[in-house]
Amino acid sequence: MKQKTTLWDVLVITLLVLGGLTMLVPFLWMISTSLKEPGSLFDLPIQLWPKKLHWENYREVLRVVPFGRWYLNSLIVATGLTFLNLTSGAMAGYAFARFSWRGKNPMFLLSLITLMIPAHVLIIPLFVIMSRLGWIDTYYALILPGLFDAFAIFLMRQHFLQMPKELEEAALIDGATPWQIYWKVALPLAAPALATLGTFTFLGGWNSFLWPLVATNSIEMRPLTVGLAVFNTNFSTEWTLLMAGLSLATIPPILVFLLAQRWFIRGLTLGSLKG
Amino acid sequence: MGGGVCRPHPTMRAFERFPWLFILPSLVGFLAFNAGPILLSLWISFTHWDVFQPLTLDTLLKSWAGLDNYRQMLEDPVLKKAFFNTLYYVVVAVPLEIVLALALALGLNRRFFGVKIVRTLYLLPTVTSVVAVGLLWRWVLNPYVGPVNLFLRWLGGKLEALFGALHLPVPATVHWLATQGPGWLEDPAWAMLGIIIASVWAGLGFRMLIFLAGLQNIDPTYYEAAELDGANNWQKFVHVTLPLLSPTTFLNTILALIGGFQVFGLIYVMTGGGPLDATNVLLFYLYQKAFGEFPPDMGYASAIAWLLFLILFGLTLLQWQLRKRWVLEEA
């Protein structure tokens, strides 16, 4: 639509900008609080921005909670989940797209059904199984459930189906084994799908909360989300510290988002298919 | 996406020998962490199985309780409350989020200087984890020193002054706004609304993104034809945009509903289900029963999980039915 800018457009754009700035208020309030002097938060009149910046809060929060460890845990879990998910999802997707084998259709239907079972149904039995295996409070419990993901399989299958077969057939005539064809021909061609799926899975792993909350109990094994939530219940009165911790937890992901916005948006839109 | 046809080429026969190698990792994951747990969950929901007993066929059979857990749900006042709280959350939050996101997408679906920056502003909460959102809003909604109530008190003060200047009596609501304002998470009457505000703030950008993608798929010639027929902006919106956007709107609403019924993180962080169970929702109640109380009641919690599953399954079926009738055929 190419139109002249009307008064209506100006009004809409002004409202959009004002709304967008309002969206920022909670973040600004977080940063402002994180820089205030502890104990000064309830002094009247309330300061919108501290006169003297109290950076010590950041040093203090890093001293009282193992922030680095939580970050590391989240990174390990999200990376591990992404790796597992892409590896097994792409392999199975390829088998569903290119091979014909007995039991293919029933198995495809079975995976379709699991998409309808929401994750919360799995929390209790997974906890029971993981406790029996002695894996509670280990990375195994946090990462291994990513071995099967119906959504990843469907997505990769769809991608492989849309790829022309000629290159793979040429490789076959040249005497390549199916594994070589998959690894050297098909998978490199699926790189865009893998990148999008990877972004989406990584984000999901980074933000996951309920399962890590159940599957970890020592401070050291908590990922960032769970660490923060539990930190909150222990230090609920120390808002300056909590907001300093929250700034440390939210600002780096936001910076990464700003740098890689294109991938994130693709991954997020893709996520809508999964819900 | 156009559909490809899967027809094995004669020379691809060699592939037929290897599928199990490719399937194996997913199959192991499926059996161990998906199908197995689902069956176990279903079984546990029919037992009074004690989590401290060993997990053997014997203990599972001995603790068989038939429909006890499901019957218990009918008589549990807290569950009833959690169910209606969930419903309240979904019924308020989902339409609010969808309407706001649609309005935003319509506004942002135009080219102007800085449009990308404005879009990004709305997307920032989307990359913030639910836990961070919850913690942030607990502080922002603080009734005494949070910016929301600071603003409301300022607004109330201005209104009071206005009434004074007009020599009118100041209404009690305005006075209340100027001096106190809502108690938000500390007040059972306002707590759920506080959660809803935080969740809409967090989810808005994502829904907007989906709407934007849908809007950009609409063929501009439809608008040109409507303009030739002399349609104004409103008529174009009602007769072109809304019908052609219906698949997107539908998808967005269903996804928001399904997500809404599973709200957990915000509740856990912001209120812990309180005050007085005012924000206790189904998934949070399940968590409490299984992991938050002693002794844990895994049987009852599993039954709640299946109740929640039935609700979501019903929504999915409804989606299939309504899709045919409401949604304009996708091109």
Pick from A26, A84, A124: CB nearest B302 = A124
pLDDT higher than 50, residue B3: no
**A4 lies in some domain:** no
Q: What share of chain A is helix, strand, coil (3-state, %, to 5)?
A: 75, 0, 25
Cβ contacts of A258 on chain B, cutoff 8 Å:
120
pLDDT band at residue B331 using 50, 70 and 90 as cut-offs: very low
Q: How confident is the model at residue B293 (pLDDT cuts 50, 70, 90)?
A: confident
What pLDDT, on the 0 to 100 scale, is given for residue B233? 85
Mean pLDDT of the residues in chain B: 88
Chain A nearest-CA residue for B219: A1
Which residues, 6+ apart, have CB-to-CB distance to B100 below 8 Å?
B200, B204
Task: Please count the other Cβ atoms lying within 10 Å of the Cβ belonging to residue A48.
Answer: 10
Per-residue pLDDT tens over the stretch B206-217: 899 989 988 988
Q: What's the pLDDT score for residue B288?
A: 94
Taking 80 as the threshold, does the pLDDT of residue B8 lie above it? no
**Residue range B148-174: mean pLDDT, rounded:** 92
Count up the domains in chain A and report the number: 1
Interface test with B, best of A46, A86, A124 (most B CBs within 10 A): A124
Q: Cis (ω within 30 of 0) for the bond into A118?
A: no
DSSP-assigned letter for residue A46? P
Q: Which residues of B265-279 are buried (b: 16+ CB within 10 A; e: fewer)?
A: bbbbbbbebebebbb
CA distance B257 to B313: 12
Q: What is the pLDDT of residues B95-113, one digit of tens each?
A: 999 999 999 999 999 888 8
Contact by Cβ (8 Å): A60, A238? no
In this complex, do B8 and A99 lie within 8 Å of one another by their Cβ atoms? yes
Residue A1 confidence (pLDDT): 46
Between chains, do B140 and A126 touch, taking CB under 8 Å as contact? no
CATH number reported for the structural domain that contains residue A200 in this entry: 1.10.3720.10
With vertex at residue A230, the alpha carbon angle to CA A227 and CA A232, rounded to the nearest 5 degrees, is 110
Cβ(A53)–Cβ(A34) below 8 Å: no
* CA–CA distance, B15 with B22 (Å, rounded to integer): 11
Per-residue pLDDT tens over the stretch B227-280: 899 888 889 999 999 999 988 888 888 889 989 999 999 999 999 998 999 999
| Phi, psi (deg, nearest 5) at residue A137 | 70, 25
Q: Could you tell me which of A183, A131, A82, A88 has the C-alpha nearest to residue B37?
A: A131
User: Nearest-CA distance from B140 to chain A in Å?
Assistant: 6
**Right CATH for B63-127+188-326 from 1.10.8.420, 3.90.1150.10, 1.10.3720.10, 3.90.170.10:** 1.10.3720.10
For residue A226, being part of any structural domain is answered with: yes
Q: Which residues of B touch A94 (CB under 8 A)?
A: 22
For an interface test with B, give the residue of A9, A10, A16 to mutate (most B CBs within 10 A): A16
Q: Taking CB atoms and an 8 Å cutoff, what residues of chain A touch B128? A: 250, 253-254
pLDDT (mean) for B174-182: 91
* Burial tier of A111 (Cβ tally within 10 Å: 0-12, 13-18, 19+): buried
pLDDT of amino acid B39: 93
Domain range list for chain B? 63-127+188-326
What residues form DSSP beta bridges with B47?
A: B64
Q: What is the pLDDT of residues A32-83, one digit of tens each?
A: 999 998 877 777 777 888 888 889 999 988 888 898 999 999 999 999 999 9
A23 inside domain: no
Q: Given this model, what pLDDT does residue A48 score?
A: 82
Q: Which domain holds residue A104?
A: 68-274
Q: From the list B9, B27, B139, which residue is nearest A239 (CB)?
A: B139
Whether pLDDT at B187 is above 90: yes
Give A92's contacts (C-beta < 8 A, 6+ positions apart).
A153, A156, A157, B22, B23, B25, B26
Q: Is B63 touching A (CB cutoff 8 A)?
A: no
Question: Which amino acid, residue A172?
Answer: L
A20 Cα to chain B: minimum distance (Å): 5
B18 touches chain A (CB under 8 A): yes
Please report the pLDDT score of residue B176 as a whole number: 92
String of DSSP letters for B239-282:
IIIHHHHHHHHHHHHHHHHHHHHT--HHHHHHTTT-STTTT--H
Measured between CA atoms, the residue of chain A closest to residue B254 is A275
pLDDT at A98: 87
Average the pLDDT over each of A60-69, A256-265, B2-11, B39-48 and give the range with the smallest value: B2-11
Task: Collect all residues of chain A within an 8 Å Cβ-Cβ radius of residue B5.
Answer: 161
Q: Which of B323, B319, B286, B313 is nearest to B302 (CA)?
A: B286
- Ranges of chain A with pLDDT below 70: 1-4, 232-237, 267-275
The pair of structure tokens assigned to B103 is 């309005």
Complex ipTM: 0.87
Give whole-number Cα distances, A63 to A56, A93, A241, in Å: 11, 46, 11
